[in-house]
Structure 1
């Protein structure tokens, strides 16, 4: 069974835009300072005319009240980077499965724009469908049930009503569960191809750009349709695993992957 086609928002790029960047799944966390540094440098220096963050910028987000002049922690440092970047170019943010509690307060504070998932970007005469991608992983039944629960206004109201310290403790426990699942070798569901085709046809778009799966690749969906998967970011100099940090750059000549993983911490 294919995923339900949601309302599809639309954004038309100004004619002045020549280059657009897409990133996702950075999972920024205080425990990975090298990834934060790479992202900070990128946001300060990208030559793009706009940056689209397609979900999971943060490993976890427990509410916009984690940021403030009286809270000089990691979240406030991230907000500062976003704000500085948004002063020089448009920054767009789409919810992921880790940071769905990012709200309008943070966007207003940083000067960024919150995007619906999915959204069509009209750029250089073509239509590009943007999504985080998790809503298309319909074979993960347990996650889809969890997603419906935590995206409900009532659940979010109840969670955000809890004290900040309690929310931090809950988020820490959930993160530990997630890390344990990764280490167990569990197989995660991929994007459902028929659902991706259905969304593209409904959007009258040829290419779906998404993250979430941490499997950067390009997939042929037949009849000229395709989906392009963004890279996750993970830079830990002390680990044996290869660093990962890619930007997908769109221009009149098409899509190009740019590897930033060799940026020095």
Structure 2
């Protein structure tokens, strides 16, 4: 694949400096946030993810960010430069945000070049289909979103890191069960609404985080936006947050770069406010 083409209108050097290791950002009055982006530090199977660290108090709560439904390499670049640690691509062909394997390769290269780790999202594919896609695209992470893909988890190679999706109904009641055998091999849990990528959230106040998610580490998804992610983080304190529709542009597919940065700003601020509770 040729070199990534980035529109000349972008000030890439400004974006790069905004996410350099140890850069500081304004938070609540009198506070600073240090954004530390590093895949080795933020790997989901390591519980102490270094995503956002607040200088207030001794609580090092710092959720990391996954931006999902990426369909263009330029969106992956902006997401990574804004501070997203993970960039998700939907390989499942029935999604309006699905990408081909060749598109996924380009997005992977862009994400890694700018410091993020790509994640492939699967829904009803078999283990052999998931493995072929990951090998072809060059993915180390697979997010298993549907019954079909979750059932394939036990047959996937252990070298492939897995994020297992559980679903909550609008009232916040968990609707997905994970077998004891599967619990042993998954690396992280993601809790989403009933329809992933719909932009609909569930009742966070009524939701009880499952013990499996607390033990493995977990991502919160479902209807998150720059306007509400701070509330979600303060209520549930997930290890990570996952956003897709909430940063989409008018067509619901391509990402709105201003909303990407607004989402990251809201996560940083919410981490500081949570520390001060």
TM over 0.5: no
TM-score by length of 2: 0.31
Structure 1 length-normalised TM: 0.32
Q: Which structure is richer in relative contact order (CA contacts within 8 A, separation 6 or more)?
A: 1
